[in-house]
Amino acid sequence: MPSRSRAALGLAASASLLALTATAHAAEPDLKGRCLALEKTMAGHWPDADTRIVSSTPQAAGPITLPPMMPGAPGTPVQLPEHCEVYGVMHERTGVDGQAYAIRFHVRLPTTWNQGFFFQGGGGTNGEVGNAIGPTGSDTPPALLQGYAVVSQDSGHDNARNTDPTHGGTAAFGFDPQARADYGNASLKPVADAAKALVAAFYGSTPHRSYFVGCSKGGEEGMVFAQQHPEEFDGILASAPGFALPRAALAQAWDVQAFAALAKGPDGQPSFPLLSAAFSDADLGLVRDAVLEACDADDGAKDGIVGTFAQCTAAKVAPALKTRTCAGAKVDGCLSPNQVTAITQSYGGPRTKAGQAIYSDWPWDAGVAAPGWRIWKLGLADKVPSLNVALGGASLASVFTTPPTPLPPDPQALLRWQMGLDIDQVAAQLTATSATFPRSAWQDVSARSPDLSGLKARGAKLMVPHGASDPVFSINDTLAWWREVDSRQGGKAAAFVRVFPVPGMNHCAGGPATTHYDAFGALVRWVEQGQAPDRILASAGPDTPWPGRTRPLCPYPKVARYKGTGDLNSADSFDCAL
């Protein structure tokens, strides 16, 4: 069917639904009545006929505790407003692996609505329907409290149902091609359209503005919308985007091979429990000190923040590392030659035997000694295993390679598997297809296209904050992508897309950095008031060396440069400049 005909049918369906809900509102003007009537109201009016409401429940105002950003951290209590809570499901089916799959979504519709719609991105391997609260930042109210209708979703598989201890545990969905596609991109537009239909049914009006906000896998989902479905949102906040997930997962195996060489037990074999001891906290502090010695002052201020992180290369840091390398056996206060080799290999990124880059290198930045860096690369002693092994290994085996490899979700088994990988062979599996998987993992679970012409034509805006010390997705890859976008736009991409690096920040949060900032507010002002964000005020939290310090976050390629005078802890002393 021609796209114009589909659009006409969609408009007709929307008009029919709005007319129906106007009648329903007259009969049921109160929250409880409208909420309980949603299943009846939506019958025959879903954008995708294979959709149904599981439950619709009026909820009084009350508290909820949001999950912590880091394992072991306390949750955050939030007082929710009165709202209608809806759980829905679509595309129920049986997969090629015999498991029952479906796309499940969760919507909260506040009584006091600001006429906005908010899609909450996922994280990790998803599989959780999400809380539909709409986190917007560490210091800003969730979207639901701001009056937005919010949706979250599980991306087509359920961690409680679609798990198999012999096939990667909760990553077992990767053995079903449709579940892999739903996880990567296919579930996103159907859920957005279903949630918008619910909004229209509940309020009798379509959203005035629509926003997507996510980090990590959620950042990848934002990129999917920006590149493949630009008509869905007016503004997209895609933080630390995992838009090259399969390649980044291979980079995690590359890291494991580098660091596990330092984690051998008495039998000479790498041991998972010893991986976290490959570098002590003091050792990583030596690496951080080398980085600061080499690069800290290049932005005009020697302040513990590497503002010019993109220019902090291995060649620049090498002399400072050399002065901290043990002349003999490893002792406290210096790094062994093998440690220097391993961390240099990690920062260089994965390469083929011929020396060709597979993913990206990483900037040397001061966040290397923070827990948020260690937890991914090495693990937190006996508290939290290396996520590069526990999450990255299972995902690479089950989701990002064709054919997938059945492994138990046991860290030691995953470590052995990662250690035995041939990097060149696995790199080919990222783009491989088969009779069972006619689309590759790269096709299904990546969104790195520099073609944003549809987003530009839509008049929508895209913002991409990213930590310079992100140990999961290299900011160098994000900056390379932005340069490709800017080249296609004749050097004028900043009119609708801007990347905001955060020096020192780890993955989505944490690190010696100014991690407290309101990017969502800046996005809303850009979309609704035309105020392009030339800088975003950010502050350092209590877990940093300088609580309360402020800095401007600058749109790449500008960086925060010291004016030469003024308080080093004040953003007023810094300009965003090239």
Helix (H, G, I), strand (E, B) or coil at 467: strand
Q: What is the CA radius of gyration of the chain?
A: 24
User: What's the CA gap between 233 and 196, in Å, rounded?
Assistant: 11
Nearest to 212 by CA among 129, 297, 117: 117
The H or E element spanning position 77 is: strand 76-80
Contact 483, 517 (CB under 8 A): no
Residue-by-residue DSSP string for 485-497: HHHHTTT-GGGTE
- The CA distances from residue 126 to 160, 340, 552, in Å, are 11, 35, 33
- Identity (one letter) of the amino acid at 420? G
Length of the chain: 578
Could you read off the pLDDT of 486-539 as tens digits, one per residue? 999 999 999 999 999 999 999 999 999 999 999 999 999 999 999 999 999 999
Q: How far is CA 324 from CA 291, 321, 329, 365, 561, in A?
A: 11, 5, 13, 17, 29
pLDDT at res. 111: 96
Q: State the pLDDT at residue 380.
A: 87
CA 455/CA 228 separation, integer angstroms? 9
Instruction: Judge residue 331's burial from the number of C-beta atoms within 10 Å of its C-beta, 0-12 exposed, 13-18 middle, 19 or more buried.
Output: exposed
Task: Write the DSSP symbol of residue 71.
Answer: T
Q: How many CB atoms lie within 10 A of CB 458?
A: 17
Place of tokens 């906000």: 213
Predicted pLDDT of residue 5? 39
Contacts of 5 (CB under 8 A, 6+ apart): none
CB 141 within 8 A of CB 148: no
Pairing of the two strands 536-539 and 550-553: antiparallel
379-384-389-391 Cα dihedral, nearest 10 degrees: -130
Strand partners, 325: 335
Cα angle, residue 460 at apex, residues 198 and 468 outer, rounded to 5° = 105
Find the distance separating the first CA and the last CA of the chain, reported in whole Å: 49
Give residue limits of the domains in the chain. Answer: 31-68+75-204, 247-442, 459-577
Give the C-alpha separation, 66 to 80, whole Å.
Answer: 11
Which residues of the chain are under the pLDDT cut of 50?
1-13, 20, 22-24, 26-28
Say how many C-beta atoms besides its own lie within 10 A of residue 299's C-beta. 21
Q: Are 107 and 198 in contact (CB under 8 A)?
A: yes
Residue 535 near residue 517, CB atoms below 8 Å? no
d(CA 521, CA 528): 10
**CA separation (Å) from 112 to 146, 151, 196, 199, 526?**
9, 16, 17, 13, 24
| Strands 574-577, 559-562: pairing kind | antiparallel
Instruction: Output DSSP code: residue 186.
Output: I
Say if residues 549 and 540 touch (Cβ distance below 8 Å). yes
DSSP assignment of 225-291: HHHH-TTS-SEEEEES--TTHHHHHHHHHHHHHHHHTT-B-TTSSB-HHHHGGGS-HHHHHHHHHHH
The residues annotated as belonging to the active site are: 216, 470, 507
* Separation between Cα atoms, residue 17 and residue 267, nearest integer Å: 69
Separation of alpha carbons 394 and 404, rounded Å: 10
Query: 125 is written with which tokens?
Result: 């391997």
Nearest partner of 100 among 89, 109, 110, 111, judged by Cα:
89
Residue type, 437: F
Tell me what pLDDT residue 70 has: 52
Dihedral sign computed on CA atoms, order 18, 203, 520, 478: negative
Q: Which residue in the block uniquely carries the two structure tokens 């470590």?
A: 415
Query: 269-319, pLDDT tens digit by residue?
Result: 777 778 899 999 999 999 999 999 999 999 999 999 999 999 999 999 999
